[in-house]
Chains A and B, each alone.
Chain A
Amino acid sequence: MILGLLLAMTAGALVSVQNIFNSKVNERTGSWATTTLVLGMGFLASLAFGVAFEGKAMFRLEGMQTWFYFSGIIGVGVVTCLVKGIRMLGPTYAIAIALTAQLLIALVWDSLGLFGVEQVPFTLKQLIGVLVIIGGVIVFKLGGAERSSTASSTISTTPHVDKS
């Protein structure tokens, strides 16, 4: 439990710093130039870590399935939707909505145990917990909004994630 929390929080802290770096790139280039660079850098870093920790095994892709090749497109969907959403609503509301969606979809995913995720039964406790977190997001974003400019540094993606 503690390990999982620490890993998630470390990832979150890195997302925060990454978003600031990315927004610095975005100020001087465009959103697609930024996305391309961010994903390219992420690829090179992942490749380097993989080779460092696993050596040749990094290139052994047994169990590969066709859809794996297309999952990267989700990241492009993230950027497209967030850029459009922010342009239409402004960063404060767009990001509050995006964070809410992130948590709601996570709850749905855990409850249904979709695609190999271990199912976490849906209970009233789960619903209340998620609603309290979403309430916190809304208070933070809408109550704390002073100037809209910095809200953009709070966007998260993959990587994913976390990028843009």
Chain B
Amino acid sequence: MGAIFAFLGGAFITLQGVANAQISQSIGTWQAAALTQFTGFVVALIVLLAMRDGKLGDYGRVKPGYLFGGAFAALIIFGNVKAIEEIGVTISSASLLIAQLGLTFAIDSNGWFGVAKQRMRWPHFAGIGMMIAGVVILSV
């Protein structure tokens, strides 16, 4: 059951990128990013209010800078949409994941942003290496 949810979650991530790319072709990339996030925001807000999942004051307990993390999504969506147009969904998704896992790994191993420090181990290097090899196979 959990595996089905996890699989669907991943499938929706790809679907979201493709939908953004499709909407961008009709109304423009910034418009697509603004529209999809606005409608998502409205739905999430309704769920939040319906579930009474915390109160507004909770935001005050977060270090203010971290509250703006969501703003990166504008550039993330823009980059993802343009990449899908240039190199297709598969290579875009794979390269995005390599950069994402690689940087997360660097952040974890250096303890940046106050995250708990992790030791680098060989499966991390082997895993990233295999992912890059896979993208090279797809690209040549």
Q: Please give the residue numbers on chain A whose beta carbons come within 8 Å of chain B beta carbons, in ascending order.
A: 1, 3-5, 7-22, 24-25, 27-33, 35-50, 53-54, 57-58, 61-65, 68-82, 84-89, 93-95, 97-103, 105-107, 109-110, 114-118, 120, 125-126, 128-144, 146-147, 149-150, 153-154, 156-163
Contact = CB atoms under 8 A, between A and B. Distances in A.
Contacts of A75: 12, 16, 36-37, 40, 44
B73 A163 contact: yes
Contact of A98 (B7, B83, B113, B138): B7
Q: Chain A binding site: helix, strand, loop or mixed by DSSP?
A: helix
Contacts of B40: 39, 72-76
A-B pairs with the 6 shortest C-beta distances? A140-B127, A21-B69, A143-B123, A88-B2, A4-B86, A41-B70
8 contacts: A3-B86, A50-B34, A76-B47, A93-B6, A105-B11, A136-B134, A139-B126, A140-B101
A68 B27 contact: yes
Given A85-B6, A159-B16, A20 B113 contact: yes
Given A24-B63, A45-B71, A81-B6, A4 B82 contact: yes
Interface in B90-132: 90-104, 107-108, 113, 115-116, 118-119, 121-124, 126-132
Interface string B30-67: 11111111111111110110010110001101110111
Contacts of B18: 109, 114-115, 117
A26 B88 CA distance: 33
Given A71-B23, A101-B6, A45 B73 contact: yes
B26 to A, nearest CB: 4
A163 to B, nearest CB: 6
Contacts, number: 503
A52 B17 CA distance: 23
A50 B30 contact: yes
- Describe B's contact surface by its main secondary structure: helix
Interface of B: 1-23, 25-28, 30-45, 47-48, 51, 53-54, 58-59, 61-63, 65-80, 82-104, 107-108, 113, 115-116, 118-119, 121-124, 126-135, 137-139
Contacts of B28: 50, 54, 57-58
Contacts of B65: 21
Contact of B69 (A30, A41, A85, A109): A41
A79 B45 CA distance: 13
A164 to B, nearest CB: 9
Contacts of B34: 43, 46-47, 50, 58
